[in-house]
Each structure stands twice: as structure tokens, then as C-alpha cells.
Chains A and B, each alone.
Chain A
């Protein structure tokens, strides 16, 4: 397992998440069509062909995502500690009680929630600004876009190391700005630095998604609005944002799911010291360093469930169009 890999299950969780979202959207649309006309022979054959064409991809998905998830769930129901291989036993939900009544878990959960909310909000604002700039660039559009994307292209762990050295007294130009204290040894300042690193890295990604949304806004609408005397701000809030809403929601969904699984920046910057662990970091510590597969898998499953709930809320309550579904005519 490489350093920047998330704990087993977390990555898988997000993928499964996206596919779950994809399926979750289907019944929602079915609900609109109250009566189903009987299918003609032709349509039925076509549908069968469709299934056949999908089957290999669906099978691979099931194999690579469902199996590890189910295995994690199975592990989480046992006392399974690599250090005590002979004492492996089925304990039901005991691990869940242990984890959910543990202060370390809730501290990490709070830290993760804080990081998620703050980074996603800041990224949305900055990303929108960046998207508008890139959208309106007249000269050297390619260069501007490439330059903006550089942080997203750098491997997170590598970037995290450069942040770490920058904030370490002695080697760091940033630490020396602040009277040469060691910000990574204090809780509040290290959390701020972790969030800064996250924001710096993923704002371009946000901007890219939002730029795709901006391209959906017809010029005619904007022209008509300014003819009617709308100010720039009104044009932005009354015309652009409503048209862009689906794109914004998708961007938010993606970023929230990713931010909740934050791991590599924390691993490199603080290694979870001073109560800066995220839930993924905690799962890693218990799985890999503690060799406690039962407790570690329990945490992975809980992370997976949280991510599933977040996605559910986005898709069901905010009406996020799940990626891959279309509202067009369905056969």
C-alpha cells in the first residue's frame, strides 16, 4: 500500500457511492412516469441487447467494489487482530459500540467535518472566481487554464511535503514569516495549514467543473438581461447561477465526498498529532499501525456509510443530477 492510498474501503466507498448515486437516480425518474405502457417486441430486444452490452462493465464493477466492501463489513463483525491470530472470533456489533463510544473517533469525526465544510465552501467561492476569469479570458486562454491547473496536477503527497518544509522553522520561508514559531506543533494552526493545502490543491478542479457549467449559459440570455437593465451582479445571481445549478451541485457533491476522505495531507503534515487526525487517518492507524483489522474495518465501514449518506442527501434533497443520468427521453 503506498503512502497516499486511503484506508481500504474508503476509496472503494466513494466509487460505490457514485454508482449507488447513479442507480438512486433511476427510481426517482421512474416515479414521474406513473403508468408504464407495455413494451413492444422491438423495444424489448433492444433492451436485452443493452443489458448484454452493459453486463461486462457491471460485472467488473461488482467484482472490484462490492467484494472489498462486503469483506470489510465481514471483518468489522469480528475480533480480528493480526497480533492474536488464534483469538479471532465473531463479536457481532461489538466493534461498532467500541468505536462509536470512543472519544478519539468523535474528535476525528469533528475534525473531518470541519475540514470538509470549510474547504468546500472556500473552494466554491474561489473556484467560481477562477472559472469566471478563465471563461472570460481573451488572450492566452490555454496558458491561463494550464497555469490554474498546475496545483491539481502535482501529486498530493509531494505538495504536502513542500508545505511541511515551508511551515517548519529553519527550513521554511512561511514559518519564518511568523516569528519563526512552529505552527505544525499547535492544533489550531496545523488544522489551518491542512485546510490551506487542501484548498490550494483542489480549487482548480472546482474551477474546471464550474467552467463547464458556465459554458451552458447562453449568451443571448445575458444580453437580454442587460437590455432589461440588469446589473452585473443581478445577471450573475439571477441568470448565471440558476442555469449553472446542476453543474454547481455536481461539483459540490464530488468535492464533499473527496474532502471527507482527506488523508494524505494530514499524513504528511502532522501524522495525526495534536488531535488533527481525520477519520481516514484514524482508520489507517488502527488498521496498519495497530494491526487491528476488526476495529479498523469498522471505521472504514462507518466512513463508507457517512459518505453514502452525504451522497444521498445531495441527490435526494438538493436534486443533484447523478453523473451519468440524463433527463432526456428514456426508453
Chain B
């Protein structure tokens, strides 16, 4: 500094004031944070994946709460993996800034086992269990206790071109031969579904395995089983991948690319989540006219399939400072009225059975009957705290499906899953 000695003293007060202002600016947010734990309205921090109209539900619940609590919706990242990493990191550090969590159905056991989420008991528990479908409830349980409230569920359907296919196929073999016939006639024939090395491939395999009556894990979730039915499912998956009816990009396909491919008209069948329907009506209304839906085909034509369910469960963090209000807020966000609102506006299927009977659902959810039918006999992904590791190694071993050798692959999967259950598995 080359300040004139005369001016230096005059400058100093100004600088001191600036420093004081800066210090205040730094402290102010801290003060704001500290005040919320006090006497006023407690803030419930809801960490939930992006959902377009959830803020309206939150606003409605805040109005209903009449100042008992105020929910603040904090949007998690779009990628499932990033959502989980953010929550896991903060919970491992016992962060009390998270109260209510929106968990993918496959994470509930993991969080419960790690003691990061609170058990639902008494009044709260019976309120959540009343009228809720069993499949979604199973995903929210761990060791016979309820740890989360199912907010919405999700299940894949078979979408098919009714102008090419008169009757929906009852089994995968029927679907493959129907596609092969269309191929010979030179018509659109492809069977489109997700086959990239990620969770979607595990979902496809789990649907096949459960439909074949197979078990990946023992009932208590402690041991890898991989029985007869799971080998049959591996055989079916390989047959499907090598019968010439898949798209060339099958081994790289995820949800949205599959939807786009079907919309472009190259497919006769598509196995995908319900979100494809509104999107198709918007992008290709002409094609949407011809598209119908049915239950996903089974392994046997006479045995109905069991289809893997997805969805979101709401759980209360163990480190929350306002557990009572958090349970109340969770119940409000998932009550029948709000589930209907979310179904109509965001397209997420409800978990409360009665909502399906509501006439308002007819227009937004023409396929609600089929969805409900699948939800009543669902397939649940292996319920274990180690699911994330199991899914990672399963998708690595199952990819590419054309290289499956049923017996050998089953043994490989059994060993890898056993390692994951004993925390011996190394993740790639």
C-alpha cells in the first residue's frame, strides 16, 4: 500500500466498517439457521427426487398444518445414484438438517439396517397400512417392521401395436414368435425393452425370475438361493436376446431411448413404465391411437406374470429434530387426496388401492385396471440392505444378455450375491 500518511487514518474507519459489514454478512445466515430450532414453527426439510407438481402438494400440507410445521421441499438430483449418495453421506455424518426422505423402494432396507430411519409405530403405522397395497408395503418393511410410508408405486406394462398384433401374447415365447412372424412379413417387429448394464436390466431379470417362480434370495434375505426358476429365467433372457427380435441397441438401451425407438415406429412390442403413454400421445398421436397395453407376458402362457415394482417410500431420518411433525407431514403428503393429485398431474401410480376406483383417474390413467392387476400380484426386488451392491454385480454379470450360459451364470450370480451379503463384494 502506498497510501499517503495523511489519508491513511481517515481511511481506517471506513475499512473497519467494511470489515464489520463483511463479518455480519457471514454470521447472518448462521443466525437465521439457529432461530428455526427455537419456539417458532419447525421447518421439516423434505429431501425428495424431482417431481414437477410436488410443491403444490407441499403447499397444501403446509396450509393444513396451520403453523404446526412448515415443509420445505429440497429437490434431490435427477440421477438415482446421486440422490442416494447425497443422502447416505449426510446420514453417515449424522446431519440433522434432513427430516423427511424420499427413498427409492430398493433403499429402504439399507437405510433401516444402518439405523438411519425411524420405525413407524402405533397410530402412524396403522394409518399407513390401512388400504395400502401389499407389494408397496413389503418394500417398506425390514425384519417385519415398517420403516417407511409408500408414497407412490410404479410397474411396467406391455405396450403393443394393435394394428399388427390382434391379441397380446401371454408368454415371452409367444411374443418372440409373433415378432419373428412380423419380421418375415416385413412389418415392424421389434420387441423393445431396457437391456443396458444398469438397474433396468436387473428389473427385467427379476420380473422373469419371479414369473418363473424362482428365488434369488432366501425369504429372510440372508442367503443367495438362485434356484431352478432363476435358471429358467436366465434361459428365457438369453433366448430373447438371441432370437433376432431385439433392437440392435438393446444392450445399450435405457428407459427413454426405448420409448423414443417405439415412438419412431420400429417396434411392435415395448415393455416399459407407464410414463411412455402420455409422452407418446404428445409426440406421435397417430401411433398412440394404435397402441394398446396388457400385462407383461409370463414364462408359461397359463401362469400370469409377476412384474417388478418401483416407486418411492417416505421415511423419517433418525437424526431429525422434529420426528413427530415429520411423521405427520409424511402422512399428509401421501394421503389419498394427494396421491390422486400426483397420479393425475405427475403420472405416478398411487399406493392406496381406493384411489384407483376414483372416476377422476379414468382420463389420466386409462391403463389403471392393468396396473392394479399387476400390483396385486407383484414381484419385489430382493429385500436386503445390500441391494445396491447386489444390483451392481448382477447387472455386470447379466450384461450382455446374449452371452448368458444359464447354469454357469446362475452359479456366478450366486457367488457374487453371497459375497455382497457378507460385505466381501468389491464394487467395480
C-alpha spacing A275/B428, complex, angstroms: 8
Dominant SS among interface residues on chain A: helix
Q: Does B386 contact A (CB under 8 A)?
A: yes
Q: For A277, give the chain B residue with the smallest CB separation.
A: B428
Write out the residue numbers on chain A whose beta carbons fall within 8 Å of the beta carbon of B426. 98-99, 102, 104-105, 282, 286, 295
Task: Write the nearest CB–CB distance from A147 to chain B, whole angstroms.
Answer: 29
How extensive is the interface on chain A, given as a class?
Answer: 20 to 34
Q: For B113, give the chain A residue with the smallest CB separation.
A: A83
Q: Does A11 contact B (CB under 8 A)?
A: no
How extensive is the interface on chain B, given as a class?
Answer: 20 to 34
Tell me whether A289 and B81 are in contact in the complex, defined as CB-CB below 8 angstroms, given that A84-B113, A85-B115, A98-B426 are known contacts.
yes
Give which listed residue, B84, B85, B423, contacts A84 with CB less than 8 A: B423
In the bound complex, do residue A81 and residue B81 qualify as a contact, i.e. CB atoms below 8 Å apart? no
Q: Does A224 contact B (CB under 8 A)?
A: no
**Contact mask A157-174 → B, CB, 8 Å, 1/0?**
000000000000000000
Q: List 6 A-B contacts (CB under 8 A).
A: A1-B89, A79-B423, A80-B423, A85-B113, A290-B388, A291-B92
Given contacts A289-B388, A290-B425, A292-B389, 20 further A-B contacts (CB under 8 A): A1-B89, A82-B88, A82-B114, A83-B110, A85-B114, A87-B423, A98-B426, A102-B426, A104-B427, A105-B426, A272-B428, A288-B88, A288-B89, A289-B84, A289-B88, A290-B388, A291-B92, A292-B427, A295-B424, A295-B426
Write out the residue numbers on chain B whose beta carbons fall within 8 Å of the beta carbon of A272. 428
Write out the residue numbers on chain B whose beta carbons fall within 8 Å of the beta carbon of A277. 428
Tell me whether A98 and B427 are in contact in the complex, defined as CB-CB below 8 angstroms, given that A1-B89, A85-B115 are known contacts.
no
C-alpha spacing A285/B92, complex, angstroms: 15
Write out the residue numbers on chain A whose beta carbons fall within 8 Å of the beta carbon of B424. 94, 98, 295
In the bound complex, do residue B423 and residue A294 qualify as a contact, i.e. CB atoms below 8 Å apart? yes
Q: Does B385 contact A (CB under 8 A)?
A: yes
Task: Write the nearest CB–CB distance from B292 to chain A, whole angstroms.
Answer: 34
**Contact mask A46-84 → B, CB, 8 Å, 1/0?**
000000000000000000000000000000000111111
**Contact mask A282-302 → B, CB, 8 Å, 1/0?**
100110111110110000000
Give which listed residue, A1, A82, A290, contacts B427 with CB less than 8 A: A290
Ranked 4 nearest A-B pairs via Cβ: A81-B423, A83-B385, A102-B426, A290-B427
C-alpha spacing A288/B87, complex, angstroms: 11
Task: Write the nearest CB–CB distance from B387 to chain A, whole angstroms.
Answer: 9
In the bound complex, do residue A104 and residue B114 qualify as a contact, i.e. CB atoms below 8 Å apart? no
In the bound complex, do residue A289 and residue B423 qualify as a contact, i.e. CB atoms below 8 Å apart? no
In the bound complex, do residue B428 and residue A285 qualify as a contact, i.e. CB atoms below 8 Å apart? yes
Tell me whether A285 and B85 are in contact in the complex, defined as CB-CB below 8 angstroms, given that A83-B110, A84-B113, A84-B385 are known contacts.
no
**Which chain B residues (379-404) contact chain A, with CB distance < 8 Å?**
385-386, 388-389
Tell me whether A83 and B428 are in contact in the complex, defined as CB-CB below 8 angstroms, given that A288-B88, A289-B81, A291-B92 are known contacts.
no
